[in-house]
C-alpha cells in the first residue's frame, strides 16, 4: 500500500506502532485484518 499524503500508524498485536506519512509504502501479509 502506497500512501500519497497524510499520516497514520499501524499497530500489530503485541508490537510497537509503525508510523507512516505521505510517500511511504507498507506491505501487509496475506490475511491481515485492519480497520481504516
pLDDT digits (tens, 9 = 90+) for 2-21: 999 999 998 888 999 999 99
| Region label for 31, one of left (φ > 0), alpha (ψ between -120 and 50) or beta (otherwise) | left
Question: What are the extents of the domains in the chain?
Answer: 1-36
Using the Cα atoms of residue 36, residue 32, residue 14 and residue 8 in order, give the sign of their dihedral.
negative
pLDDT of residue 8: 92
Res. 31 pLDDT band, cuts 50 70 90: confident
- pLDDT at position 34 is 74
What is the value of pTM for the model shown?
A: 0.64
pLDDT at 7: 94
Coil vs helix vs strand at 7 = strand
Instruction: Grade residue 28 by pLDDT with cuts at 50, 70 and 90.
Output: confident
Amino acid at each position: 500500500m502506497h500512501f500519497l499524503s497524510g499520516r497514520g500508524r499501524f499497530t500489530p498485536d503485541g508490537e510497537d506502532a509503525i508510523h507512516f506519512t505521505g510517500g511511504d509504502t507498507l506491505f501487509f501479509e496475506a490475511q491481515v485484518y485492519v480497520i481504516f
